[in-house]
Amino acid sequence: MPIDYEKLKNRPFEPIEQTYTTDQAILYALGLGFGADPFDEQQLHFTFEEEGFSAVPSLAVVLAGPGFWVREADSGVDWVKVLHGEQGIVWHKPLPPTATVIGQTRVVDIIDKGEGKGALIYSEKTLHDKATGDLLATTTSTTFARGDGGFGGPSGPVKGVHALPERDPDRQVDIPMLPQSALIYRLSGDHNPLHASPVVAKSAGFDRPILHGLCTLGVAGRAILQDVCNYDSTKMKSLDLRFSAPVYPGETIRTEIWEDGDTISFRARVVERDIVVLNNGKVTIG
């Protein structure tokens, strides 16, 4: 059954309430590889709950979300063939160390790329602090529904892509991932067996379980946080990127960085296979 454009675009989402503690914020940081050097006092600000503790900014992507909602029957989406294509974050305020947050998701638009070419589903989540009412972050996501093109929806406009500078990167940061990194990261809310079960991974065409795309995003964000922002999480204002290839746990993620004032361009590659896994990345700082 093809996508029903009006039904999917107006699909209702209940607000999701989630309370996160310092333990959960620390678990998220550990999933990104923070704490590999237990003597690094700056990393301790994200992995030790005492004085000076901060939540990693990219934690916003895993809080109070609707889960893998395209798998629900009323979505009309062939969920087996979907891929996470793009992700964005705008931080309106720094995330508190602990909080109860309210997430509200909506479908912004669905782009029909044509029969056999798939569809793009643009969605957005706002994240509010329940206690204060403050808008903390807005996250945006592009889902590439490979099996759903040709349903008669609009062919545009399509979100633009940030062009990376043509010069060599100004710097690069290598972060090795633990072999068990996906098993740690999934405890932050994404329990898709693709990231834990060798049987499921092989059935999906992978040699072994793959790392979550949002974990790779978090690792690149961490590289910029430490190398550009000197671990000051209040400096990151927005982030956008495209996912281009999967990462296997245990591989090294190299984030290549270009600095142009308050605009930071980046991409990430796996060192061992020399393949770009995140592309067209942009962070604004302030």
Catalytic residues: 190, 195
CB distance 1 to 79 below 8 Å: no
* CA nearest to 171, candidates 226, 245, 91, 125: 226
Token code pair at residue 70: 């395209």
d(CA 149, CA 5): 11
d(CA 97, CA 91): 15
CB distance 97 to 54 below 8 Å: yes
Contacts of range 209-212, beta carbons closer than 8 Å, 24 or more positions apart = 209/182, 209/248, 209/249, 210/182, 210/246, 210/247, 210/248, 210/249, 211/177, 211/181, 211/182, 211/185, 211/246, 211/247, 211/248, 211/249, 211/251, 212/182, 212/185, 212/186
* SS3 of residue 32 by DSSP: coil
Distances from the Cα of 107 to the Cα of 47, 62, 78, angstroms:
34, 17, 16
Per residue in 236-259, is it b (16+ CB within 10 Å) or e — as a string? Answer: bebbbbbbbbbbbbebebbbbbbb
- Looking at residue 197, the DSSP 8-state letter turns out to be -
- Looking at residue 46, the DSSP 8-state letter turns out to be H
